[in-house]
Amino acid sequence: MADRHALVTGACKGLGQYLAARLADEHWSVVGVGRCPADQVPPVPGVTYLQADLALPRTPADLSARLDSAPHLVVHCAAAYPAARPSGPALPDMEEVFRVNALNPYLLTLDLLARKPPDRFCSYVVVNSESIYSADRHSAIYAASKAALRVLTAGLAAGCRSAEASVSTLLLGPLADRAKLAEIETVAERRSLPPAEVVRLFLRRSNPNLVIDEFIDYESCFRSVRYLAELGPTANGMLCKLDGGSSGSLV
């Protein structure tokens, strides 16, 4: 099975790093893309790291030209967040967030589709966020970029009909990432509470619309990516929501 090629963006850290390593565990040959220099990324067997800045206009074309093999699976996981500035949002920051989160994943997918051998099936899994349903003044720019990504993804799926490709969305709720877990540990120690109880209280307060008591774990995200890839053409246009039920009963 070593001839299955995957491309994962956002592979320096967090979920992207985890997905790249888990795909390699399962004998995928993985190219992990990230912004940080290669010497700052711990080597993972089976993962070849490529440094690329998805905020730059030329990156989608450059990146797809640098790949030795056309991928069978692409996971768009990179995400940028606007800097918090006392003076309020700045247009260049907003543009960068939209380029990394929406415009360049879209252009990269179009470029990869154009270069794909016609008989090579490829699954494109686009990681999105439940924040698109419940933006507030702090998350609005990030959420708007992810909402744009969601719409662009639907357009890609429409273009993939009969194209030996599927484009699906994996829409996630709050992840058990390192920063949140560290914060939970600190609060748990300060209040002498079990960390699981702090998570439960945190989720009830910060995301009252969610119906989960735990953060979403990386392994569940990996299993969802694998499921979307295994579905093949049936996954085209699919929205897989691992989001804590945030968008209510009718969506």
Ligand X SMILES: NC(=O)c1ccc[n+]([C@@H]2O[C@H](COP(=O)([O-])OP(=O)(O)OC[C@H]3O[C@@H](n4cnc5c(N)ncnc54)[C@H](OP(=O)(O)O)[C@@H]3O)[C@@H](O)[C@H]2O)c1
Q: Binding of ligand X at residue 102 (CB under 6 A)?
A: no
Q: In angstroms, what is the minimal distance from the CB of 124 to ligand X?
A: 14
249: which residues sit within 8 A by CB, 6+ positions away? none
Residue of 25, 26, 27, 36 interacting with ligand X (CB under 6 A)? 36
Q: Binding of ligand X at residue 47 (CB under 6 A)?
A: no
Q: Binding of ligand X at residue 111 (CB under 6 A)?
A: no
The residue sitting closest to ligand X, measured at its beta carbon, is: 14
DSSP 8-state assignment for residue 102: I
Angle between the N-to-C axes of helices 195-206 and 178-191, in degrees from 0 to 180, rounded to the nearest 10: 110
Q: Binding of ligand X at residue 172 (CB under 6 A)?
A: yes
248: which residues sit within 8 A by CB, 6+ positions away? 133, 209
Closest CA to 75 of 230, 239, 244, 222: 222
Q: Which of residues 117-156 bind ligand X (CB under 6 A)?
A: 127, 129
Q: How many residues bind ligand X (CB under 6 A)?
A: 23
Q: Binding of ligand X at residue 53 (CB under 6 A)?
A: yes
Q: In angstroms, what is the minimal distance from the CB of 117 to ligand X?
A: 26
236 within 8 A of 157, measured Cβ to Cβ: yes
Angle between the N-to-C axes of helices 14-25 and 218-231, in degrees from 0 to 180, rounded to the nearest 10: 60
Reduced to 3 states (helix: H, G, I; strand: E, B; else coil), residue 189 is helix
- In the complex with ligand X, which residue's Cβ is closer, 105 or 122? 105
Residues that bind ligand X (CB under 6 A): 10, 12-16, 34-36, 53-55, 77-80, 100, 127, 129, 172, 174-175, 177
